[in-house]
Every structure is written in structure tokens, then in C-alpha cells.
Structure 1
Amino acid sequence: MKKNRRAFIRQSGLTGLGLSTVGLGSGLGRRFNFIGPKEMEHDIYNGVAPSDWNVFDAHCIVGRHLKWNGEGLHTMEDLLSEMDHYGITEALVVDSLSRENHPFDGNQRILERSKTRPRIHPAWSVLPSVLEETGRSPEQFFREMQRNNVRALFLFTNQFFFNLSDWCIDALMEPLAERKVLVFINPVEANGRGSSDATDWDGIVDLCKRWPDIPVIISEGRIRRSQRMLYKAFDACPNLHLELSAHWLHRGIEFISEHWGANRLVFGSGWPKYGQHMTLVNLTTAQIDEKDKKLIAGDNLRKILSWDTPIPKLKVDFPEPHDEYVKYGRSGIRPSDMTFYDVHGHLGEYNAHYHVPESDIESVVEDIQYYGLEKICAFSFAGVYSDEVFGNDIVSRDVKMHSDRFIGFTLLNPLRGEEEMNAELKRGAAQGMRGIKLIPTYQGYPVEGPLIEVACQWAHDHQQIIINHYWGSAEQIEKLVSKYTKACFVTAHTTTAYADVMKEYQNLYICSVPLLSPRACEEVVDAIGADRFLFGTDLLDLPIGWGLGPILFARISTEEKRLILHDNLKNILTKYSL
């Protein structure tokens, strides 16, 4: 792994904090034209960075969906505007009715919505009971797909309550297998049930083995603890692929590309539930070669979708990036003077109940140098789920080896009691730890329990940063920040619930992880101000690029982005956790 990483760095010309990687296409206006077959023959990676990745989003939904609150993005015009901002050429789109209500209505509506938009490719969903409900046989349904140039089908198994067994769906699969029609499997229900680790892996593997000519793409809310099942499914099924909006894991793109090949991955966002920013930057900044990035960005999907006739590439002249941060997000090329301060990171090799690739400290240091992270507030994995003393020792060891990069935080478990908590704080201080991490939500201790104040008292007495997964009610956090005024309180995950408290007290900040929806960053800045918002990656749980994306692409000023990504935490560290 390290040999491959270093080879990548040499090949890409990455030295120190400066990068030399590839950019996405840019330009003025929104003109587009088709690229002919002869031009495509010469559009082959030859060691020179390609000028246009032709990014193709594999997973978007348009229409008034169940969770639309009256203000969120959801129309075709919204989607195309987003694509212009991010530099995304095309998208495969399902109608919300096909996703939530019944395929018959949504499948017809998406044809109307996409017919005058060359950048939009309609996708349908289908039920195994298509004959009984519509009078169309599976073969007739397939012929209707062909007539309407529909090249992909989504199976929303749990939303419409069916499974992947042979007796349930094989009559539907038969006409698809002959033509190698692309099938997406998505188990997430529209109301949010099954939003994480919901894939039926037995069903997926059986389906792929029964129908080896059908390309199958897993599309989920989030694959986290089940990612080891994904690995074994990749081993078993050469026709299995993954749409990336579900895979929020540190170095996940790199690991899958190395072990199973970049051809197994397709770029997809899950828009508008998720913004396109996270997955796009995770890809543009991935430490793989540019040929593989281009495959994942769009070429894999175009090849799979060309089962009937080839899909001509579109050339789109995108609006110029709004600032240097948007330019970095589109291209993966980070200026050497663009660096970041990170308030939320975990350390520890083999210290998670899911696989974290290349989590040894030397590999992590290479990653943070690649991404330009100057300082990271770091705490353990092991203490979240198991033995905090074991985890704190690992963090202390790693911080001592790389004190120029990491600020170590002692992670506590209030279940141990006040005496043990204080003993661990003293032990951590003796080992050079300079802050406190709390995560009672995971440990099973009440978030507003009295022993939370043991940690707050220590942070107050030593003028330290104390970061908590969740502080509880607004009344609870107001009580704490007003009582322990010499401590710097940080909420580890994005919220606007404390906005009113923050107007009254200056020692409370919010961490940026995660910013899931298309406008989440803008909404937080509007509620609390950019000066109270701190960039966090949730390293090594989440990819660094994934956390950067929503801020890089946010429709806020360059100055506000700089505050969030760098200046706020840098200034805090001149006063706290010295």
C-alpha cells in the first residue's frame, strides 16, 4: 500500500504541500456540443492530465419528494444549476414519484421533464409485479424502455416491499440480462428507514450470480459497518459496482480501486438528499491516478449505459469557478498556500469496528500533508466503542511523534465515575494531552448527566477546548458555557440548535461535520456566522475530501470560507489548549 501511495505521489508530482493534479473543464456560459467517435478515440489518458472529466452523476431524484420542506432544492432547474456550479456534465435522474409513490406515474413524468435537456438521462424504477399492476409483461416493459431511450432501472426494494429472490424478480430480470441493462439496487425507504447498512448482501450476491451479464450497482444511504460485506461481494461478483454517495469511508475510493479496480465505482451524489459537493471532492482529490478518476467520474457509467446504442459525450463550457476554493473542489488541484485547521479527528490503527484503510500513523501523516492539514485536534477511536485508556495511549504516542501536526485530546467515559475520569485527565495531561473529547451518546451515558460537568470543570480550570458529540438541549449547553467560562466548548457535529445561545456566549463553536444537504453550509453560516464555525473532517472515519467539499463549494464569501477552514481554529489555539 505504501509503495503504491508513494508511486502515486511521484507520478503526480506531489511534493510537500503543493499538488500537481488534474482539473475539471471550465469555461463561460453553458454551451454544449457532442463529441464524435473519432474525437473520443483520441480522448485517452496518456500521462497528461485530461482537460475535461465529463462527470456523470449516476443518482439524482427530481420532484416534490416526501422530505421537501417547501424551500429545498428539488426541481430540474435546481439540478442543472447545481451541475453548472460543480462542473458536472450529465446526470441520471429518477422522478420522485417513481422513488416514493408508484413507478408508473414517475416513469412517465421523468420523460416529460428530461426530453428537452440533453444533459439529463431519464431512469425508471420497476416492480416485480409489473404485469399484474400495469398489464405489461416484463418484455413489453423493456421494449417501452428502449423506445424512450431509458437505459437504467432502479429497484427500491424496501420502499415497495419486495426482495431479490429468484421467485420474486427473475421474470423481470430475464429480458434485461439479454441486453445487459443496468440495474441499481437501493434499499432505503423514502421516510428514512434503512438509511445505513441496509443492503441485502445475500440477495445481491445471489442475484449477481444468477444473472452475471446484468451490471448491478449498489446505491444506499450509507455503507459503514457493512463495508466488509461489500468487499466479499466484490470478490464473489465481477458484475457488481458501487455508487459512491453511499461510501463515506476514509480512503475508500483508493482501497477499492487498488483491490478490485476503478471500474467497480461510479460517481453518484444522491441529490438532493445529499449535496454533490461531498462525493465530488472526495473523487477529485482521491490519491489515484487520473485515468482511474476519469473512469469513476463518468466513463464507467457511460460504458455500462451504452448497452443499446453508444452515449455520445457532451462538451459543456461551465461558468468560471467563483473563487479559488471552488476551483480546488472541481479540479483536485490545491494551491500550496491553501491549508486547513481541523477540529475533529480520530487516530488509531485497527481501532474501529469497521475497516479503516491505511490507518497507521505514518500513512495518516502522508494523507494530511497531501490535503494541507496544518493542525488536527485528535482523539481516539477505541475510546468511542471500548477502552478509552487504550485509545488515549495510542493518541498520546502518535501525537508525540508528530506534535507539529496533532493536538492530543483525552477521551473520557463518564460511566467510569468521577474519580476515574479525573485520574484519566491527569494521566492524559502528563502525556501531553491538551483538550477533552466526550461522546456519551455512543457510550450509553445520559448526554445531560451530572458527570459531564467533571470534564467541563477540568477544561475550565486548564483553559482547554472540550468537544462533545452532542451537548443535549439548548438549555443544557447554555448552563455549561455560562458556568465554565474559561473553557472553549465545541459541538462535534453540525447543528443550528444552539444559535440563540451563541449570540449571548462567545465560548461555544460548531464543527462542520457533516454537511449533508446541498445548502447545509450556507444554512449554518446564516444561523451562527462564519466566525463560529470550525472545519472538521472526522478523520479517520470520514474522507478528508468529503468533509472539505461542502465548504469549498458553499455560496458564501471567500473570506468566510477562510475563517471556517483555517483562521477560526488557529485563533482559538492562541488562547485555549496551549
Structure 2
Amino acid sequence: MRERIYFDCFTYIGKFTPKDENQLYSIDHLLSEMKRCGISYALTVHTLARDYDPIIGNKTLLEEIKSHPEIIPCFVLMPDITGEFPDVDSYLSDNSIRAVKLYPKLHRYFFDEYTCGKIFRLLEEREIPLFIEAGRGFDERYNQATFAEIDAICSNHPNLNVVLQGGRWEEARRIFTLMRKHRNLYIDFSSFQLNCGIEYLAENFGAERILFGSEFPLKSIGAARAFLDYSDISDEDKVKIAGDNLAKLLGIKLYRLDDSLGDELIESAKRGERIKVQIIDAHAHLGDENEIVSGYTPLIKSGIDFVFKRNEALGIKKCCVSSWLSIWADHKLGNEITLKAIRKYPDHFIGYASFNPVYVDDWEEELNYWFCVKKFKGIKPYYPKVLISYNDKRWRKLFEFGNKFKLYALLHPSDNFVDEVDEISSLYPDLDFLLAHTGIGFKHARDLVYIIKERGNVFFELTFTNVPDGLIEFLVEEVGSDKIVFGTDQPMRDPAPQLGWVIYSRISVEDKRKILALNMERIIKRSLI
């Protein structure tokens, strides 16, 4: 088996805004995280080239990395429309540049043949790959191209290798269409955390077209590493994705660099081994009997058996789950799918009962059936679909029941989330509230910190595609590890990056154990049902 050398295709160094005071940004930060997570090389852009001036930013990049051969420069270019940019051919040659990135939206130029054709042709002739951020969904700030524009460039320049960076899992169908159409299109998986996304891409388009990418310092390198290391593909394909594919695109040879020794959880994760400590997933979903649930986005391998087997491979002992149907369209039919999972694997799945108040005819009957008879322990009122505020009187009977029997409720952010959580957590002190998707980012977390500190029945639940580097450390420092629970949101997102985010965080093993299981175990045991 060939040695696996990790080469991160998506990193930045340099100051950026807006920035939380806990976020990292410097070359020293990048080098430290690379060594800690076992990353030998990184392709890097300087934020000055993105946010201020490409020429100044590219020059600053070369100066900062000159004594660090493990950092490979990626230059930001722009078309010479107003005479501000030098001759691109000599500019790249003089600096021995093997990778280029464009920011047409940030730098306000058309991303088309007329405007950028000269750059496209030059890169094609010199076999230099073009990196472009697209398909970012919610994150429009750095969404630099449309899928139609990428389609046109790949069609007009079939020998130009184009790397799509930051594409999110929700855009799977559009991304798969382009991958199928264009052999010269590659993808990094920093935000493409589709359940079994690496396996699907490798099987359908070839492992050769997948690149390891983290988007550090915004995202956790450990999350990206776990996504690949726990993927169910061959060791040979993992070698390609880890670094060989990018090295081939850039025409460079890799040598494995020494990494630092981590705690026992990190070292197990590096080997892709089942984590030995207890893990409870506080936030998961299920599809139906089909392998793929269709509609909003494909939920690949989302059936009961596969979710169970995937959890077994990662070491997730228990899984608190609601079916996708129960939150998305029909809570009664969906709760029955959740019940099937509990019956089939009673020691593994713990049910969330979902409700849409406008379709509840008799609250007493439904609550008795799902909780007292069927023994569900969690409540899942799903605001993003029902659009009913949590302090609305239509939820009152549900929350009163949960408070009486000391249940727990998983709450997704609403339009007035802070005030609503503040109100209901005070009204129902014996009902534990898990605030879903803290991983949205630092601002979202900071807005909720005072409630977590103030109320013993309110907890942070982590999962989100953003996996912000440094956020878990911030939460532990602010509210303590006793007030945080682990979740994956599988099979929407693949569980491995979410697990890796916690495993590779810069906190103690004891804090990790609390977040991964002990806190949720305590919450579940409080239930009187």
C-alpha cells in the first residue's frame, strides 16, 4: 500500500473581516494545525490578494512562505481591463506559479470568454489548474461563479483543469451534472459533506477528480481529514484524494512530513479506526426504505440499516433520530419510520417525535401514543418548515407535556431564536432544550451564550457544514464542556466530518468525552418515560 500524504488544496493565510477574535489567521496558525492534523502540504491564498489587491497579496504570500516549502502558493489573477495587472504569462513564469484562483464577483468583472479568455487559454496551454469557488449555497459572499459559467468554461476549454471549491452538499444534483459532463472538472469536499459523498463521487466520476480540502482557517482541518479517513473506499483511492491528485495537477512530487502526536482519540481518527469512547449522536435523521431519499437534496444511503452500520463503523453507540419525512412533510407518517428504526435496533436508536401543530387534532391522544405507548424520548418541533415561533401558544401543550415528563427538545434556529429560547426555557425548567446547529458560526453562538450560562436546561448542539475552526474551543471556554452535545445531522451531512471536528478540537480528552456522549447520556436518563 502506498503512503498516504495529505495535501490541502483550500487554505488561506492573512487577516480577514469579519473575523471573530477566536479565529486563527496567520502562517504560524496554519503550520501548527497542519502538523497537529498530519497534513504535509497546503495550497494557500493570501487574503490580501482576495480582499484588497492581487499583486500586493501575491507578493505578501511569497514573502511569508519563503522559508516554508510545505506551503505552495496559489496566485490570484484578474483580467487586465484597466491596465492595473502585469502580463500574466511572464508574471506566472517569474514566480514559478502552478495554481491560479479567480474572484470575479469580489473583483467585479465578467467571468466569461470575452473578459477572461486570455487567462483561460494561457492556463490551458501551461497546464495550470484554475480554482474557483462556486455552489456555496447560503454563503453568497464567496460564491464567485454560477454553474452556467463553469459549464461554459469547461466546454470552451476542455484541456483546462477547473477545480470547484466550496460547493455545498445541497447542490449535489447540479454538481453531479457538471461532473458527469466535464472530465476536466474537479471538486474539493470542504463543504460537500453529502452523506457518503466521497464514496458517491469516487464511484461515479473517479477518485482521481476529488481533492482534499478544508478551507482553513474558516473550517476545521480535522473535519476534512476524518471525512476522507472514514470513507468507505479503497486505500489506493484514499492515497489519490489525500494528495496525489493535487500533486499531479500541479506537477510536483510529495514527501511525507512528520506530524505531531495527538491524544488517543486523534490518533485513532488518523488511522480511520472506530472511536473507542462512548458516542451519542443527539441530532440525526433517517430516510425511508429506499437507499436515496429524493426531493430537496439526495439523501444517499439514508435507510435504517445503513445509518446503523455507518454508526457502528464510527463508534456511535446511540443515535437520537427523527425521520426526514417527519420534519419535512408529514409528521405522523414520518414518526412511523422512526418507530421502525427503534423496533429494529432498540439499543441504538432513540426517537424524536415530530409534530406540526396545524395537523394535530388531539394533542392528548398524540402525546400519549408517541411518548407513553411508543416510548419516544425527544421532541422535534421543526421551525424551518412549520414557521411557528417556539413561544406560540400552539406549542404549549407539547412543551407542557415535555416539562412534566422531563423530556428534551431539539430546536432549530427561528427568526427570533434568542428571545424565544429565553422565554420558553424559563417557562419549562424541567424540559431540556438542545439548540441545534451551533456550528453556524461564532456570531450565532455568541448570541446564545448568556442563555446557556443562565439556564441549566439549555445546551448547545454542534452540527453544521461550516465546522468552524476554534468554535468548540470557544464554547468550552465560555460555557464549559458540560453544556455542549454532539450531533451529526446524518444522513443529510456525512457524520464523519462532524465527528472529526470534535475529535481534532484543541480541548482535553475529558471535555471531548463529555461532548461526545456523557452530557447527552445524562439528559436522556432524566426522562421519566
Task: Verify same fold: TM over 0.5.
Answer: yes
- Superposed counterparts of 1:422-461, under 5 Å: 423-429=365-371, 430-461=373-404
**2:224 matched to which residue of 1?**
279
Q: Return the offset for 1:174.
A: 1.1
Match of 2:441 in 1: none
Are residue 165 (structure 1) and residue 119 (structure 2) matched? no
Residue in structure 1 matched with residue 40 of structure 2 by the alignment:
89
Name the CA distance, whole Å, in 2 between partners of 1:177 and 1:344. Answer: 45
Match of 1:334 in 2: 274
Distance 1:157 1:370, change over 3 A: same
- The aligned runs of 1:185-200 (5 Å cut-off) are 185-187=132-134, 193-194=140-141, 200=146
* Equivalent runs, 1:56-135 vs 2, <5 Å: 56-128=7-79, 130=80, 132-134=82-84
Give the drift of 1:341.
Answer: 0.7
Letter of the 2:451 counterpart: V
Change in Cα spacing, 1:355 to 1:177, as seen in structure 2 (3 Å) is same
Alignment of 1:203 with 2:149, yes or no, is: yes
Is 2:248 the counterpart of 1:320? no
Q: Judging changes above 3 Å, is the alpha-carbon distance between structure 1 residues 422 and 234 closer, same or farther for their aligned structure 2 residues?
A: farther
Q: State which of 264, 272, 275 in structure 1 corresponds to 2:209.
A: 264
Counterparts of 2:103 and 2:363, CA distance in 1: 47
- CA pair 206-379 structure 1, distance change in 2 beyond 3 A: same
5 Å-filtered alignment, 1:535-546, equals: 535-546=486-497
Aligned residue for 1:72, secondary structure, equals coil
Any idea what the Cα deviations from partners look like across 1:41-71, whole Å, max 9, x if unmatched?
xxxx3xxxx5x42211101111111223455
2:423 to 437, 456, 479: 479
1:254·1:286 contact (CA, 8 Å) conserved in 2? yes
Q: CA deviation at 1:424?
A: 3.9
Equivalent position amino acid for 2:184 in 1: N
Deviation at 1:413, TM superposition (A): 2.0
Structure-to-structure mapping, 1:504-515, within 5 angstroms: 504-514=454-464
Q: How many residues were matched structurally?
A: 515
- Pick the aligned partner of 2:131 from 184, 194, 197: 184
- Percent identity of paired positions between Structure 1 and Structure 2: 25
Q: Deviations over 1:117-151 (max 9, x none)?
A: 111111111122x2533353xxx312321221211
CA distance in 2, matches of 1:550, 1:519: 10
Cα-to-partner distance string for 1:422-453 (whole Å, 9 max, x where unaligned): 55434423444222102213432234323233
**1:496 touches 1:528 (CA, 8 Å); kept in 2?**
no
CA RMSD of aligned residues (A): 2.3
Aligned to 1:468: 411
Deviations 1:503-551 (A, max 9, x none): 4432222212136221111111111111121111111111111111121
Does structure 1 residue 368 correspond to structure 2 residue 311?
A: yes
The 1:69/1:188 distance shift into structure 2, 3 A limit, reads farther
Q: Distance between the aligned counterparts of 2:123 and 2:528, measured in 1? A: 61
Amino acid at match of 1:224: W
> Does the CA contact (< 8 Å) of 1:124 and 1:150 recur in 2?
yes
Residues 413, 440 of structure 1: 8 Å contact kept: no
Judged with a 3 Å threshold, the aligned counterparts in structure 2 of structure 1 residues 158 and 450 are, in CA distance, closer, same or farther, namely: farther
2:505 alignment partner, SS class: coil
- Residues 162 and 185, structure 2, Cα contact 8 Å, conserved in 1: yes
Q: 1:552 is matched with which residue?
A: 503
For 2:377 and 2:17, the matched residues in 1 are separated by 45
Partners of 1:502 and 1:262 in 2: how far apart? 43
Give how far 1:573 is off. Answer: 2.1
Match of 2:512 in 1: 561
Q: Using the alignment, how far apart are the partners of 1:420 and 1:123 within structure 2? A: 61
CA distance in structure 1 between the partners assigned to 2:142 and 2:394 by the alignment? 32
- Partner of 1:291, secondary structure, is helix
Q: Look up the match of 2:338.
A: 395
- Identify the residue that residue 93 of structure 2 maps to in structure 1: 146
Q: Contact conserved, 2:135 with 2:171, CA < 8 A, in 1?
A: no
CA positional deviation for 1:186: 1.4
Checking the alignment, whether the CA contact within 8 Å between 1:489 and 1:507 is kept in structure 2 is yes
Change (3 A) 1:352 1:546: farther
**2:284 corresponds to:** 345
Secondary structure of 1:319 counterpart: coil
The corresponding residue for 1:10 is: none
CA contact (8 A) 2:62 2:73 kept: yes
Letter in 2 for 1:382: L
TM, length-normalised to structure 1: 0.84
Question: Which whole-Å CA distance do the structure 2 matches of 1:233 and 1:546 have between them?
Answer: 24
Q: Which amino acid aligns with 1:425?
A: L
C-alpha distance 452-566 of structure 1, shift in aligned 2 (>3 A): same
Contact 1:488/1:576 (<8 A) preserved: no
Give the corresponding residue for 2:442.
none
- 1:213 paired with 2:159, answer yes
Which whole-Å deviations, capped at 9, do the CAs of 1:76-96 have from their partners, x for residues lacking one? 111101111111111111111
Aligned in 2, Cα 1:473/1:235: closer, same or farther, shift over 3 Å? closer
Equivalent position amino acid for 2:325 in 1: A
Task: Tell me the amino acid that sits aligned with residue 101 of structure 2.
Answer: F
Tell me, in whole angstroms, the C-alpha distance in 2 between the residues paired with 1:104 and 1:567. Answer: 51
